[in-house]
Amino acid sequence: MPTSMLQHGLATDPTADRPGPPLWLLAELTYRCPLHCAFCFNPVDFARQTDELDTQGWIRTLQQARALGSVQCGFSGGEPMLRKDLETLVGEAHSLGYYTNLLTTGVGLNETRAKALKDCGLDHIQLSFQDSTREMNDFLSNTRTFDLKNNVAALIKDHDWPMVLNCVVHRMNIDHVDKIIEMALELGAETLELANTQYYSWAVVNRDHLLPSQAQLTEAERVTNEYRERYGDQLRIIFVVPDYYENRPKKCMNGWGNVFLTIAPDGTALPCHTARMLPGAAFPNVADHSIEDIWYGSEGFNRYRGKNWMKEPCRSCSEADDDLGGCRCQAFMLTGDPAGTDPVCDKSPNRPIVDEAIAKAQSSKTGLMTEQPLIFRDPKESIRLTE
Amino acid sequence: MPDESTQRDISADQVPTIANGYRLQFESAQDTWVLLYPEGMVKLNPSAAEILKLVDGELSVKQIVTGLETTFETTGLTNDVHAFLSIAHEQHWIKLS
Ligand code: SF4
Ligand code: SF4
């Protein structure tokens, strides 16, 4: 049977007049988190955003998005286990017909809660390995955190969830991908995502410490391929290259307002979880508007939808449909213009900004020798950095 | 798909099951059957959906073929069903026992 029979992924027809539904709903239940990852993707000013939607607010959001056609639902954070109503929300999502994903560090996931989550219909847990140096050291020396992950991995197996591990990779741990893969094998994982840090939020603050050199990257990919050959289907390894090392940008979020809808802890609806950093009018909140109005009607979700907003060189570029000009947040962070070409693209006049960061990363100095110390995500730093 | 493993034969007596973590579901907003899995989704065309609907961990491949041939009052579906199930297996959507 030809493969055209099967349409993979979450792509929608870009030529359709009315955008498709928000197939993917990401519910960022809280910014609270017991960990302190130096690459944390929560906003740097998270400590100033302490409001959280209540249970009813989330349930209403789940219902409205489902009615529009959302089908994948991710519960993330922060650490979503910190929400006491997590089981209620998962249960609601499940009964509405969502495929439910929990993105967790495993902290707080004990036997009782695992059973409760299973009973209310949770489909999948993505267990992540975080906190760069501390946890890696922990892990490499086989200590406390490793025990925690080991227990959580056992819970995942016992409850018959597919086991997907995620490890954020960067300059300080990329030389140990072999150890990370060994650990995934030992834990019985079916899928391991080795996701290179993407440079947003805290990872931008710490970029010089985190961006690997080309040599590190090449070696890590070589090692990964070796394991792929050796273990085949037993462990699927996904290796995500940091986009700085590409010459075309990623098709960010598969297109602005195309399939992804993120709801921040306070109910702000965002086309991606970092979009709030962009200049311009505030994004709408689910407390004030229906998901349908937000998705189809709001200025925020239409701002960079499709291609009409593009400037040169994207506007007349033959590859515009492939990447839709890349990431708006990255364009804004690196060039100050949210409607400009993502500077990862080598057709962008601003590509030298990315090349400069890469050039710095080739030096053999470790990040620890740069002027600014590594800054771990924590509420005090959040306040200090955003004063 | 040129990969020779896709040619891997499936035998008529094997019993396919939807793999752990995968779920077949009709989506009215998209007016299509989809297969959901961790953080992803495959849209299925009608014939793929008809086949997967019969994958229940009890029917053998042969029984699935017979079932479809009866429902659609036709014959000669064996090759199509085998070919699709071998892709589905390759993609880890189903397990075979
Ligand atoms: S990246 Fe780390 S610190 Fe940030 S929310 Fe996730 S686990 Fe917590
Ligand atoms: S110029 Fe713009 S549209 Fe063309 S490849 Fe680069 S980012 Fe994509």
State the CATH number of the domain containing residue B25: 3.90.930
> What is the radius of gyration, based on Cα positions, of chain B?
13
Query: Is B8 inside a domain boundary?
Result: yes
Q: Does residue A326 have its Cβ closer than 6 Å to ligand 2?
A: yes
Query: Is B72 inside a domain boundary?
Result: yes
Contact B11, B61 (CB under 8 A): yes
Whose C-alpha lies nearest to ligand 2, atom 7?
Answer: A325
Residues of chain A whose beta carbon is less than 8 angstroms from a beta carbon of chain B are 1, 3, 5-10, 20-21, 23, 68-69, 71-72, 74, 97, 99, 101, 123-124, 126, 160-162, 164, 191, 233
Taking the C-alpha atoms of residue A330 and residue A333, their distance in angstroms, rounded to an integer, is 5
User: pLDDT band for position A275 (50/70/90)?
Assistant: very high
Copy the structure tokens of residue B59: 């029917």
User: pLDDT band for position A200 (50/70/90)?
Assistant: confident
What is the domain extent for residue B52? 4-91
Taking the C-alpha atoms of residue A77 and residue A52, their distance in angstroms, rounded to an integer, is 11
Measured in Å, residue A6 CA sits from the centre of ligand 2 at 28
Per-residue pLDDT at B71: 93
Copy the structure tokens of residue A235: 């462990």
Q: Does residue A347 have its Cβ closer than 6 Å to ligand 2?
A: yes
Measured in Å, residue A309 CA sits from the centre of ligand 2 at 13
Pocket of ligand 1 (CB under 6 A): A 33, 35-37, 40-42, 77-79, 105, 130, 377
Query: Is B84 inside a domain boundary?
Result: yes
Contact B22, B41 (CB under 8 A): no
- Of A306 and A91, the one with more pLDDT: A91
What is the share, in percent, of chain A residues with pLDDT greater than 90? 55
Query: Is B96 inside a domain boundary?
Result: no
- Residues B44-93 have pLDDT tens digits of 999 999 999 999 999 999 999 999 999 999 999 999 999 999 999 998 89
Neighbouring CB atoms inside 10 A of A191's CB total 19
At a CB cut-off of 8 Å and minimum separation 6, what does A305 contact? A19, A255, A256, A257, A258
B2–A contact, CB cutoff 8 A: no
Burial class (CB in 10 A: 0-12, 13-18, 19+), A231: middle
Query: Is B58 inside a domain boundary?
Result: yes
pTM comes to 0.88
Q: What share of chain B is helix, strand, coil (3-state, %, to 5)?
A: 35, 25, 40
Query: Is B97 inside a domain boundary?
Result: no
- Residues A66-109 have pLDDT tens digits of 999 999 999 999 999 999 999 999 999 999 999 999 999 888 89
Query: Is B54 inside a domain boundary?
Result: yes
The best mutation among A29, A30, A31, A41 to test binding of ligand 1, ranked by most ligand atoms within 8 Å of the C-beta, falls on A41
Domain total in chain B:
1
Mean pLDDT of B3-28: 81
Helices (H), A141-251: 144-158, 177-186, 201-205, 207-210, 214-231
Query: Is B78 inside a domain boundary?
Result: yes
